[in-house]
Amino acid sequence: MKSEIKNLAKDLISFIDASPTAFHATANIESTLKKNGFSLLKEDAAWKIKKEGKYFVKRNDSSIIAFITGSKSPAVSGFKIAGAHTDSPLLKIKTETENCSSGVVRVATETYGGPLINTWFDRDLGIAGKVMVKNTKGYSPVLLKIDRPVAIIPSLAIHLNREANKGFEFNPQNHLQAVISSDPESKNILKTLIAKELGTKIENIGEMDIFLYDLQKGTFSGGDGQLFSSGRIDNLQMCHSILEALLSVKKSDATVIAAFYDNEEIGSKTLMGADSDFMRSIIERITSLLCTGKDDIYRAISKSFLISADGAHAQHPNFPEKHDPGYVPKLNKGPVIKLSASFRYATTAESSAYFIELCEKKNIPFQKMANRSDVPSGSTIGPMSSASLGIKAIDVGNAMWAMHSVRETAGTLDHWYMTNVLKAYFGE
């Protein structure tokens, strides 16, 4: 395998390992943007932007939109947008639920998104998220990442549930409580642990958005590292590809935009989700600052395009019957174009043809995916973004196994393929 392909995948794994939550993914994206000459714009301040400038905007510390203004007016060249999401299915800690049971201390959790729950049992779990910490000026957000085993959710032995291997329905309230201590006499264990980690007093710990996460790092597998496994491949892999493509832009007639949204896993209808005014507000501000005509925003939108990038289901070798035989994406066979008659994906014949042309120009293979007609499809940020913005769009992604498991598997070569297609899109 070529070193450039393997090195890109190594960088992806490092990015995922460093990003246990959407907050961390956003912080890591922001750090990379700043190193590459991008400037922060605040929504509550007046903007001053220029052609061929590099900028980014944040919301809630968990969503970030970056853009490079084109050499031509948006009314003339439109916007080239690519979007993905920073969040992944996790177990969120309910911070006021510390309790003692059977001689151990536990905290209750709440499922965020749709995790494959049975994969979370008996794992070494860390804690990460955002904590509001009190200081002399009030409360300030601080990132938390406890990167060592501090929690575990034990499964029930087969001897006590002989039917476990025939399927067991977990009760989220009762069965997803995480053990954080074997000392039943201790109090405020969770906050004490967090305060010590952040180097502050327990009374300074305020509200928290914190999650359990699996500590196992990403790894390569297969004869020549053709596969890699990690948590949160859905959808940090696409975030990484889009970021790499954005950084490759040298000069563009069109304004290119990279969107990294939070909350896709729970529907996106939040302040920082794709189903908010975040993207439209930025497009409108860019247009108002770089254009002069009253209808230039509409001209810009009509000339724009959106690529929504999210994970796709590879044909499973042990469950091949779960796929329509006409649509069987495989690992390391190229980007997957996602199709849905009910428009759970934004793809049309026209937008698909445009993406295929990009692949063909770079000699990159591509695949197509449509669910079995008796299996409902998932959805992405594509349809809602296309509808709310009025922009032509396509849904694509890289094939993977075990989506929403605590540990997913994808193809090393596919990441190189997708990144290079997106580079062609932003830079053609």
pLDDT digit string (tens) for the chain, length 428 residues: 689 999 999 999 999 999 999 999 999 999 999 999 999 999 999 999 999 999 999 999 999 999 999 999 999 999 999 999 999 999 999 999 999 999 999 999 999 999 999 999 999 999 999 999 999 999 999 999 999 999 999 999 999 999 889 888 889 999 999 999 999 888 999 999 999 999 999 999 999 999 999 999 999 998 889 999 999 999 999 999 999 999 999 999 999 999 999 999 999 999 999 999 999 999 999 999 999 898 999 999 999 999 999 999 999 999 999 999 999 999 999 999 999 999 999 999 999 999 999 999 999 999 999 999 999 888 999 999 999 999 999 999 999 999 999 999 999 999 999 999 999 999 96
| Domains, the chain | 3-88+231-427 (3.40.630.10), 90-214 (2.30.250.10)
Mention every residue, 6+ apart, whose C-beta is less than 8 A from residue 419.
8, 240, 241, 244, 245
Helix (H, G, I), strand (E, B) or coil at 212: strand
In this predicted structure, what is the pLDDT of residue 416?
Answer: 98
Q: How is residue 337 written in tokens?
A: 């174009």
Measure CA 225 to chain center: 23
In this predicted structure, what is the pLDDT of residue 2?
Answer: 86
The reply to whether the predicted model has a pTM over 0.85 is yes
What b-and-e string marks burial along 380-406, b requiring 16 or more CB atoms within 10 Å of the CB?
Answer: bbbbbbbeebebbbbbbbbbbbbbbbb
